[in-house]
Amino acid sequence: MPRRRSCVDPTRFAELVDEAVAAIPEEFQGYLENVAICIDARPTNLLLESLDLDPERDTLFGLYEGTALPERPHDFAGQPPDRITIFREPILETCATERAIRREIEHTIVHEIAHFFGMDEQRVRRLGY
């Protein structure tokens, strides 16, 4: 797939991620206090392969890493924060406008938060994310 030149630099991309996180409804915000939202350039080939994805054909826009809320034992305190990573370059390569980039970031963040709340990939996709 040919790579596009995006109109969004890394600083603006981070602002769009921050705006998407700030737009999460208040009733969910409290659950996310110990979830780090990070931005990486792109997923590594090793990461893609560990997820049974083909680095030549597949990529990721986001990834949730941690222990989903329903799977946490009663004594879960003291664990490092869960992490949601947004991968900048795959989104920029796919989306041609800032508006499309914003929508994809919002979509990706909701998708990864759904995993944090314990939804599997099939359920998240059935919900449209």
**In the chain, where the domains are located:** 10-68+79-126
Q: Give the mean model confidence (pLDDT) for residues 32-37.
A: 89
Model confidence over 4-31: pLDDT tens digits?
A: 556 789 999 999 999 999 998 888 888 8
Q: CATH number for the 10-68+79-126 domain, one of 1.20.1440.230, 3.30.2010.20, 1.10.357.10, 3.30.390.50? A: 3.30.2010.20
pTM listed for this prediction = 0.86
Q: Cα separations (Å) of 9 from 12, 47, 83, 85? A: 5, 25, 23, 18
Model confidence over 54-108: pLDDT tens digits?
A: 999 999 999 999 888 777 777 777 778 899 999 999 999 999 999 999 999 999 9
Model confidence over 74-84: pLDDT tens digits?
A: 777 777 889 99
